[in-house]
Structure 1
C-alpha cells in the first residue's frame, strides 16, 4: 500500500500537496501568518486531517491500552455463533479479527469499491470546501451517478483550486463507472 498524500487549502486556495510532512509544514506556516486555520485533506479518502503540531512538540500523555502498537479499543457487535468461532481461533478473538482485517486489506479492490471510495473522498472534500456553493447538491448527485459532464458543469464557477482538486479526486469515480461490467 502506498503512503497517503495530502492537500492543504487556505482561504479557498491550494497551498500544498504531497507528502504529509511537507503539507502539514505549509499548513502551519499559513496558520502563523493568519488566524484562519488551513484545511488539510487526505487525497485517498478525502478525510479532513487534524492540524497536528510540528515535530518536536510535546506529545499528549498516552492513555490506557497498547499505545506502542497503535491498538485502539472499539466495540464490535456479533452474533453468539460468531463469538464462538472467534474464540476458538488461535490467539483468540482479537488476533483472529486482526488476521481477517489484514487479509481483506491486502485483497485487490473491486472496481465498484474503487469507484465508491473515490466518490466518497470527493464528496467529503466537496462538503468541506464547497458544501454551500451554488450547484453543490447537483454536483454530489452527478458524482454518485457517474456523470462527469454534469459534475464539471456544476463546479465550473467554483474557485479554480477547489474545482481542480475535486475533479482530480472524482476522476477515478467516473473512469471506474464508465468501465464495462463483466
Structure 2
C-alpha cells in the first residue's frame, strides 16, 4: 500500500496510507479551507487524493486494492512461472516485494527529494543553492541551507533521502 504525506503551509498535517490520509484531509478541510499538497512517500511526487465523500472505514477485512492488468511474457517465462508455488500472480508479487525491500538507490532518493522541493519549497530561502548541494552530494551544506525551512518539510526531505544519502 502506498503511503503519502500531506502538508499545509509548510506543516505536515497527515502521513500514512492513502485512505487514512484522505480521511484526515476531509476532516481538516471541513474545519478550515486551504491549499494542501500531498506527496508520495517513496517518489516525492505530488499525488492527488479524493478526500470528498470519504466513507468511514467499514467493519471487516480491508479492501486490498488488487488490480488486474495484462502482462506480456515469452513462453519460457510463463513455463517458469507455472512451476512456482502459488501461481504466476503470487510469484510476481513475491519478486516485486523482494526488489522493493532492497531499497532505493542514492539517485532515486535524491530525485524524490528534488520532486518534493520543486513542488513545495520553491519560495524557501537558499532554494537553488540547496538543489545544487543536493545533487553535488554536499550533505553538510544542504543541511545548513535548509535549516531555516519549516521543520516538517526538512524532516520529510530527510525521510525521502534516507540515511545512506545523508551520510554520503
**TM-score bracket, shorter-length normalisation:** 0.5 to 0.7
Residue 15 (1) aligns with residue 13 (2): yes
Change in CA separation of 1:116 and 1:36 when aligned onto 2, cut-off 3 Å:
same
Kindly provide the CA deviation profile for residues 137-171 of structure 1, in whole angstroms up to 9, marking residues without a partner as x: 11112222222101111101111111222122223
- Alpha-carbon contact 1:5-1:43 (below 8 Å) kept: yes
TM-score, length-scaled by structure 2: 0.67
Alignment of 1:68-147 (within 5 A): 107=99, 114-147=105-138
2 CA distance for matches of 1:165 and 1:125? 9
Change in CA separation of 1:115 and 1:150 when aligned onto 2, cut-off 3 Å:
same
Change in CA separation of 1:142 and 1:51 when aligned onto 2, cut-off 3 Å:
same
1 CA distance for matches of 2:131 and 2:164? 12
1 CA distance for matches of 2:21 and 2:142? 27
Change in CA separation of 1:126 and 1:147 when aligned onto 2, cut-off 3 Å:
same
Q: CA deviation at 1:105?
A: 8.2
Change in CA separation of 1:104 and 1:17 when aligned onto 2, cut-off 3 Å:
closer
2:148 corresponding residue in structure 1: 157
* Counterpart among 3, 6, 30 of residue 5 in structure 1: 3
1 CA distance for matches of 2:133 and 2:29? 34
SS for the counterpart of 2:149 is: coil
1:50 corresponding residue in structure 2: 48
1 CA distance for matches of 2:19 and 2:155? 23
How many residue pairs get aligned? The number is 157
2 CA distance for matches of 1:105 and 1:117? 17
